[in-house]
């Protein structure tokens, strides 16, 4: 019974979110798109940083996966710009740059997670699930709190 609930929650998370893939290498972008869509996610692809930022501003996404070495705007700058628009969106850097300094620069730019290419799809899916779940939990109403506005009702009682 618990596993059915978890499967339902995973399906709900997957169908609720479109993932923006920002990757300049068409083969890698296609591999990511196909793999994510086979696992129930919707995707959109941008092949450069500027296009990625335009798509991000024009659509609603649940997660961003971005390379760092991109034409027109690198992934670090892109991440900073995305954070200005939406500070809460989960961003996963997926890049060939794997030094500790590169990773720290990614986190300093606003990335929530960082993976180095080549990567294992199982690990990528696990990281995506965690980021989306964490983001959904953060957006959910907290117990004991209400988002319902309060108002005052005035009426005259007939005698």
Total residue count of the chain as it appears in this document: 159
What is the tens place of the pLDDT at every residue in 106-137?
A: 999 999 999 999 999 999 999 999 999 887 76
Helix (H, G, I), strand (E, B) or coil at 67: coil
Q: How much is the average pLDDT of 92-113?
A: 97
- Rounded CA separation 96/68 (Å): 8
Residue 91 has pLDDT above 60, yes or no: yes
Residue 149 pLDDT more than 60?
A: no
Closest C-alpha to 109, from 97, 121, 119: 97
Domain ranges of the chain: 2-139
Residue range 2-139, CATH number: 3.40.50.2300
Helix (H) or strand (E) holding 79: helix 75-85
pLDDT single digits (tens) 14-33:
445 799 999 999 999 999 99
- The pTM is what? 0.77
User: CA nearest 63: which of 150, 3, 139, 1?
Assistant: 139
Cα 87 from Cα 11, distance rounded (Å): 25
Q: What is the pLDDT of residue 152?
A: 52
* pLDDT at res. 46: 98
């Amino acid at each position: 019974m618990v596993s059915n609930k978890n499967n339902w929650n995973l399906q709900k998370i997957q169908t609720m979110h479109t993932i923006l893939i920002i990757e300049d290498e068409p083969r890698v972008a296609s591999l990511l798109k196909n793999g994510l869509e086979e696992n129930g996610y919707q995707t959109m692809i941008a092949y450069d940083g500027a296009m990625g930022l335009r798509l991000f501003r024009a659509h609603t996404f649940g997660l961003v996966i971005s390379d760092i070495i991109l034409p027109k705007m690198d992934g670090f700058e892109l991440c900073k710009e995305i954070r200005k628009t939406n500070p809460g969106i989960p961003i996963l850097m997926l890049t060939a740059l794997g030094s500790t300094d590169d990773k720290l620069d990614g986190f300093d730019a606003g990335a929530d997670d960082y993976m180095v290419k080549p990567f294992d799809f199982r690990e990528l899916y696990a990281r995506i699930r965690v980021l989306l779940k964490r983001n959904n939990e953060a957006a959910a109403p907290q117990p004991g709190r209400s988002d319902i506005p309060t108002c005052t009702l005035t009426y005259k009682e007939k005698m």
